Chains A and B, each alone.
Chain A
Amino acid sequence: MRAVRRVTGRALPLDRANVDTDQIIPAHWLKRVERTGYAAGLFEAWRRDPAFVMNDPRYAGASILIAGANFGSGSSREHAVWALDEAGFRAVIAPRLADIFRANCLKSGLVPVELGPETVTKLLELATREPRTEITIDVERRTVEAPGVRVGFALDDHARARLLEGLDDIAVTLTHADEIMTYEAQRATWLPSLRD
């Protein structure tokens, strides 16, 4: 995973709540066996509307997505994170992110930032009024800064460390292999197995 210490960039304001992962990347894109090649599928249906905010050239190159509550709901498809990442997004700000989407973000180094609804509204207004506004997300200090805005966001130590160091989760877990083996040795014998 890519390490990420700080994200500074312009923000795309997507003022909608409950944006589900079917909108972020439609299902027909999920037939691929690769981890790349999804950028063109990002918000595919909505992008057909010329008025969709992503088609506004003033937001080209934005690296932060600001959205309404419950962003990333629905399907568990990590392809949603891959598509955002490939399209150049490095962080998502919303009042609330869906659980699975948030977990997927942390696996790809896309910084998940949950802020109070008032702050998100303020940032949405800022990015809408002045598309060139730069926002800085500091993973180390767990802060978001923009003109007139300076707030902290919640990120547990474990997630923070992994973002900062870009750690391979599996390698870390395998350092606990002895604990996993100890656990396995005391599992109930009736638990189902495909060997049965």
Chain B
Amino acid sequence: MVTAVKRTLAEKVWDRHVVRRTEGEPDLLYIDLHLVHEVTSPQAFEGLRLAHRAVRRPDLTLATMDHNVPTTAATPADDISLRQMDAMARNAREFGIRLYPMGTPEQGIVHVISPQLGLTEPGMTIVCGDSHTSTHGAFGAIAFGIGTSEVEHVLATQTLWAGRPGTMAVTVEGELPRGVWAKDVILGIIARIGVSGGVGRIIEYRGSTIRGLSMEGRMTICNMSIEAGARAGMIAPDDVTFAYVENRKHAPKGKSWERALEDWRALPTDDGARFDGEVRIDASELRPYVSWGTNPAQTVTIDGRVPDPEALEPALREAAGRALRYMDLTPGTPMRDITVDAVFLGSCTNARIEDLRVAGDVVRGRKVRAGVRALVVPGSMLVKAQAEREGLDRLFRDAGFEWRDAGCSMCLGMNPDILGPGERCASTSNRNFEGRQGPGGRTHLVSPAVAAATAIAGHFALPEDLS
């Protein structure tokens, strides 16, 4: 009897997209969906124009504007940003690509809108000129970020040359303690495996804790796979996935839906398949995290204190010392004693409707601490509209938050929403790199619940700390 080869989810999805495989060469991989935004695409379209090439599959290509759009009319885009948005509009027109520009109801952060439109589905390959493309792995797709030259390559050929990455299982088992959210799960994972723990590999998140998460929680986890250096992150599709996809605009319907379901149910990793690496985490050990440094592995639990670099292992000391100087923090300071100038609730990590509901609950009937600038930036205009139907906008506005239009906003310092030099921010985004939210700005990564409580308290806080 022939024993079938046991394969992981990642291997199954990868193998079915190989157009060409030759010894000694990377695979030529077919791309099912190419997401495009204004910042990393203009040079790619220019390359096509110079070589007289067309976009091979405009029907598998979606463009939006998210990175440098302003999120309020009060702070319009600068001329250079406008030129980039104009270029996106012109390129979409010229090459026949669907575009959701600023001012359309479908516009939003590329990684928020694609799942909402039902374009992100299990078993697909999805790429975008943005490292947080890993988000879409939550559906059991292989999704990863690419550079502009590869954007051009995909536009022209709908394929990419890529070596099959290794595999890594991160298994989280057990019930999450109260107040611990998906954001804390991924920060806890990165704290354990480090910012290069996933380099060259696709992480598959497994275990009862992961299965217990909603699709939005799963997207938060996969989103930050790149923060562990991983090529991609994935979660096996299950009934939660199917229920999310069903009936969305671009989801298969009728007989097609039945056939798709049958296919998707065969995707999860086979029992007995081997991973190149495995990490196991007990969910009961996780707590709400706050980052203190300048990379996403430099975190402590909110009950903790700013670490003393001298107490860390030698390899980490110098970077920790440099991070603390940049962050202007003193070792031994309790995290709850650190005050903030700004709170940012947004980004492709944490600006979906569930994130806004959690934060909205925390601020209900309360006021943002005087002197704190607090922003809520929904991940898409569809999220914004839904939040407004639920009255969440009123909760935030009454509490003193600014209620903005969709965009990447203060996640990355390339639109009008930036921190001033030295300003300190509690942020639901994904990167606390130096200057990430604006030159000289200081970022602390947190969950939406902690961000909301921190806006009210004026210092890092849990919702239960509020009187």
Which residues on A are within 8 Å of B, measured CB to CB? 16-18, 20, 22-23, 26-28, 30-35, 45, 69-70, 73-79, 81, 96, 98-100, 103-104, 107-108, 156-158, 168-170, 173-174, 176-177, 179-180, 183-184, 187-196
Bound state CA distance, A76 and B134, in angstroms? 12
A33 touches B439 (CB 8 A): no
Bound state CA distance, A17 and B313, in angstroms? 15
User: Looking across the interface, which residue of chain A has its beta carbon closest to that of B249?
Assistant: A196
List the B side residues contacting A193 at CB < 8 Å.
59-60, 250
B46 touches A33 (CB 8 A): yes
User: Looking across the interface, which residue of chain A has its beta carbon closest to that of B149?
Assistant: A107
Most B CB contacts (10 A, CB to CB) among A27, A73, A104, A193 go to A27
Chain B contact patch, size range = 35 or more
A74 touches B226 (CB 8 A): yes
Q: What are 6 contact pairs spanning A and B, CB under 8 A?
A: A35-B43, A96-B196, A104-B147, A170-B152, A190-B252, A194-B98
Evaluate whether A73 and B146 lie within 8 angstroms (CB atoms) in the complex, with A23-B434, A31-B81, A192-B250 already known. no
List the A side residues contacting B146 at CB < 8 Å.
76, 100, 103
Indicate whether B343 reaches chain A with its CB closer than 8 angstroms: no
List the A side residues contacting B67 at CB < 8 Å.
30
Indicate whether B191 reaches chain A with its CB closer than 8 angstroms: no
List the A side residues contacting B153 at CB < 8 Å.
169-170, 173
B251 touches A31 (CB 8 A): no
Indicate whether B109 reaches chain A with its CB closer than 8 angstroms: no
Bound state CA distance, A81 and B67, in angstroms? 20
User: Looking across the interface, which residue of chain B has its beta carbon closest to that of A101?
Assistant: B147
Shortest Cβ distance from residue A28 to the other chain B in the assembled complex, whole angstroms: 5
Evaluate whether A103 and B147 lie within 8 angstroms (CB atoms) in the complex, with A18-B196, A158-B26, A170-B51 already known. yes
Which residues on B are within 8 Å of A, measured CB to CB? 19-20, 24-26, 28, 30, 32-33, 39-40, 42-43, 46, 51, 53, 56, 58-62, 67-68, 78, 80-81, 83-84, 87, 98, 118-119, 121, 124, 129-131, 144-150, 152-153, 156-159, 161-163, 165, 195-196, 199-200, 226-227, 229, 231, 249-252, 256-257, 259-260, 263, 295, 319, 322, 412-414, 431, 433-436, 439-440
- Beyond known contacts A17-B319, A156-B163: 10 more, CB 8 A cutoff: A18-B295, A28-B414, A31-B39, A75-B412, A75-B431, A76-B130, A184-B30, A184-B158, A188-B259, A194-B62
Bound state CA distance, A72 and B67, in angstroms? 20
Most A CB contacts (10 A, CB to CB) among B51, B98, B144, B145 go to B145
List the B side residues contacting A18 at CB < 8 Å.
195-196, 295, 319
A45 touches B43 (CB 8 A): no
B295 touches A20 (CB 8 A): yes
Shortest Cβ distance from residue A104 to the other chain B in the assembled complex, whole angstroms: 4
List the A side residues contacting B119 at CB < 8 Å.
192, 194
Q: 9 tightest A-B contacts by CB?
A: A78-B147, A107-B149, A104-B147, A190-B252, A76-B145, A33-B42, A27-B414, A70-B196, A190-B256
Give the contacting residue for A157; candidates B19, B25, B84, B431; CB below 8 A. B25
List the A side residues contacting B252 at CB < 8 Å.
190, 192
List the A side residues contacting B68 at CB < 8 Å.
31
B24 touches A158 (CB 8 A): yes
B161 touches A173 (CB 8 A): yes
Shortest Cβ distance from residue A195 to the other chain B in the assembled complex, whole angstroms: 5
Bound state CA distance, A23 and B156, in angstroms? 31
B149 touches A78 (CB 8 A): yes
Evaluate whether A169 and B200 lie within 8 angstroms (CB atoms) in the complex, with A26-B435, A193-B250 already known. no
List the B side residues contacting A78 at CB < 8 Å.
40, 43, 129, 147-149
Bound state CA distance, A45 and B433, in angstroms? 12
Most A CB contacts (10 A, CB to CB) among B149, B165, B249, B412 go to B149
Give the contacting residue for B439; candidates A45, A103, A170; CB below 8 A. A45
A100 touches B131 (CB 8 A): yes
Give the contacting residue for B60; candidates A45, A183, A194; CB below 8 A. A194
Shortest Cβ distance from residue A170 to the other chain B in the assembled complex, whole angstroms: 5
Bound state CA distance, A76 and B60, in angstroms? 21
Evaluate whether A76 and B147 lie within 8 angstroms (CB atoms) in the complex, with A28-B413, A70-B229, A194-B62 already known. yes
Bound state CA distance, A103 and B440, in angstroms? 30
List the B side residues contacting A156 at CB < 8 Å.
24-26, 163
List the A side residues contacting B87 at CB < 8 Å.
33
Give the contacting residue for A22; candidates B43, B226, B260, B436; CB below 8 A. B436
Shortest Cβ distance from residue A176 to the other chain B in the assembled complex, whole angstroms: 6
Shortest Cβ distance from residue A46 to the other chain B in the assembled complex, whole angstroms: 8
Evaluate whether A99 and B231 lie within 8 angstroms (CB atoms) in the complex, with A27-B414, A74-B433, A176-B20 already known. yes
